A and B are shown apart, each in its own frame.
Chain A
Amino acid sequence: GAVVSQHPSRVICKSGTSVKIECRSLDFQATTMFWYRQFPKQSLMLMATSNEGSKATYEQGVEKDKFLINHASLTLSTLTVTSAHPEDSSFYICSARVPGGRETQYFGPGTRLLVL
């Protein structure tokens, strides 16, 4: 299957700082990437859909000014958690959709964010 990388895998930061998470499709070009958040023992929650060269589409209840998404190229999308607070601590997972055919999403390994 397609390979998606995510960096960093784990980050610990102080409250008020901003954290940037990168998501890369390594062996294919992804016009669409997705950002999910998952709290412990809960299901995946889609935060936003990231489209290359255009603005991201955010799900209801997700603050676009707090979770900045940039999809500057066909292989890279970034999520920046601005002014992070302890309640933003979560597992953030990106996925990339292989274009054409099945529209299968392949997931990155995830980033565990802990805000102190």
Chain B
Amino acid sequence: GQNIDQPTEMTATEGAIVQINCTYQTSGFNGLFWYQQHAGEAPTFLSYNVLDGLEEKGRFSSFLSRSKGYSYLLLKELQMKDSASYLCAVTDSNYQLIWGAGTKLIIKP
């Protein structure tokens, strides 16, 4: 079956760095997405990886290793507003988007 695993919840301190991991097992691979979802709101697009390596976008970076079925989202200089759920999603061979359950990130002052 198709499966995406990410931690349920993480806690970090304001100003610090946090890495949210995502592992996947899907039938084929056509890209991996990270979305941010604040409580009560719809998800917003953060990043897309289809080739191995690190994609940097401001304070957020996303890494992909296709051979390991692994990705991480790295958040630097954490701010209180970064408290949200972070969703990992993979596009399979049929271009279906398979969603992880999300990681709730709690930022403490």
Contacts and interface: CB of A to CB of B under 8 A. Distances in A.
Chain B interface: which size bin? Answer: 20 to 34
Main secondary structure on chain B at its contact with chain A? loop
Given A44-B87, A44-B99, A104 B44 contact: no
Nearest to B44: A107
Interface in A6-44: 6, 34, 43-44
A104 B45 contact: yes
Contacts of B101: 43
B43 interface: yes
B19 interface: no
B13 to A, nearest CB: 24
Contacts of B87: 43-44
A7 to B, nearest CB: 13
Interface residues of A, number: 17
B44 to A, nearest CB: 7
A43 B45 contact: no
Contacts of A46: 97, 99
29 contacts: A1-B45, A6-B42, A34-B97, A43-B87, A43-B99, A43-B101, A43-B102, A44-B43, A44-B87, A46-B99, A91-B40, A93-B42, A93-B43, A102-B31, A102-B48, A103-B31, A103-B95, A104-B45, A105-B33, A105-B45, A105-B97, A106-B45, A107-B35, A107-B42, A107-B43, A107-B45, A108-B42, A110-B41, A110-B42
